Amino acid sequence: MDKSKRQFIKRAGQSSAMLILYAYGGGRLIASDKSISSLNKKWDGMLAKDPRALFDLPYGLSYKVIISSGDLMNDGLNYGKRPDGMAAFELRDGSIALVVNHETESKDKNLDASKAYDTANGKAYSGGTSTIVLEADGRTLKRSNRSLVGTIDNCAGGATPWNTWISCEETYKQNHGYAFEVDPESKSLNGYKRLTHMGRFKREAVTVDLNDPAGCVYQTEDDYSGLFYKFIPSKKGQLSSPGKLYALKIPGIKNTSNKEGLISVNDSFPVEWVQIKDPSAKSIKTKIQGKNDNASIFNGGEGIIFTNDKDSTTNIFFTCKRGGKAGLGQIWKYSPSKSKISLFYESDNVNNLWEGDNINITPWGDLIICEDNGSNACKLIGCTPNGTLYPLGRVAGNSSSEIAGICFSPDGQNMYLNIQEEGKTIVVSGDWTKIREFRDGLDSNKVHYEI
């Protein structure tokens, strides 16, 4: 777990999340053209229109395409399509590795079937991961290779505190729906572990609770009637070892979608955990097992992240892309020490947050959220601990691509993300102090951060 993920300080009383930064455009996120001289001024919350029509950014920031789908990698294979979840790791030699998921399910004759997790008709499934190694500057491509093949619809996942990547299959297909642990240091297609005991379901993302003595892992399920899971390994830090899988239950609430609007932002509920008896779902789907024991439904569970406040208290944030009365998305916060879950944010307007997906933590301590809504302008959004949203990027042109894989280099100087349908993995850098100055002016409560 990198340093930035330990610096998200939560206040006890949070205001209702609201988008207040788009006033320049009547409540909409607007791109505008300004002269270069504006780069020397304070950032005003606007995004500059990208002349290459790929990704709009705040003034003072710029991007570079690291690699694109179809590019030839060092192992002789092409960089895969639909790059999705991703994390950045510092390697032993000082290089920076990006481990990238590919959310595909086709069969690829060019992949080595003998080293694939699974095949069909002698061809490896094209899902899995690529490892992109950058020079120490975090921007210059050094080498690249496939690091997992033969899996299906590797959507999101999560980094572990011991610097490995957990890649998740978002599928119910037989022999699939597992999590796989990938070592960023490995150059081999055999350098992965299937984490069988963590369960088989339509898994989206995972995060490890750094403060938990047992090393609990929290997991989301991307399904309209999915559950929220907790895995307790028998040996902390060894996720391939046996353990117990549970699903969260909010007594009295069967479905958290909140279609009737009965749950308000900041409402908090005590929780229970029901055990999943057959994590491999040999006869009954994992989510059905949980619901049979009254586990609560979360509509379209997506990105998840561990956060750590100044007294080492954990909060787990996760998105539900289709939750909420308007069906535009929710962010939930689970507090293990209190055994309570609360509704941190619920969108009621597409101009605010529209189906949030991958999330992470910025180096300055805010949540950062990727949209996936099929529009021609999915946004990248920052969210302060008080629930105030502000724009950090937007897919440009007429692309309906989702944004995915948001993460930062260990030193916090580079931001990485995937523009999925365009097949682009990019790095963003520039004057981050302008962003920090802008967001520091948003909180009337003057929250202070330990950076």
pLDDT tens digits along 171-196: 999 999 999 999 999 988 988 999 99
The radius of gyration of the chain from alpha carbons, rounded to an integer in Å, stands at: 21
Measured over the CA atoms of residue 245, residue 212, residue 363 and residue 139, the dihedral's sign is negative
Distance CA 65, CA 428 (A): 9
The rounded percent of the chain whose pLDDT value lies above 90 is 86
Sequence ranges of the domains in the chain: 3-440
Q: Are 193 and 181 in contact (CB under 8 A)?
A: yes
Distance CA 451, CA 365 (A): 8
Whether 232 shows a pLDDT value over 80: the answer reads yes
Q: Are 426 and 419 in contact (CB under 8 A)?
A: yes
Find all residues with CB under 8 Å of 51, minimum gap 6, and list them. Answer: none
- What pLDDT was estimated at residue 30? 29
Please give the residue that has the higher pLDDT: either 10 or 287.
287
pLDDT tens digits along 22-67: 222 222 232 333 433 444 688 999 999 999 999 999 999 999 999 9
Q: How many CA atoms lie within 13 A of 327 on its CB side?
A: 2
Q: Which of 66, 143, 133, 141 is nearest to 97 (CA)?
A: 133
pTM above 0.75, yes or no: yes
Q: Assign domain 3-440 to a CATH class.
A: mainly beta
Give the pLDDT band of residue 90 (cuts 50, 70, 90).
very high
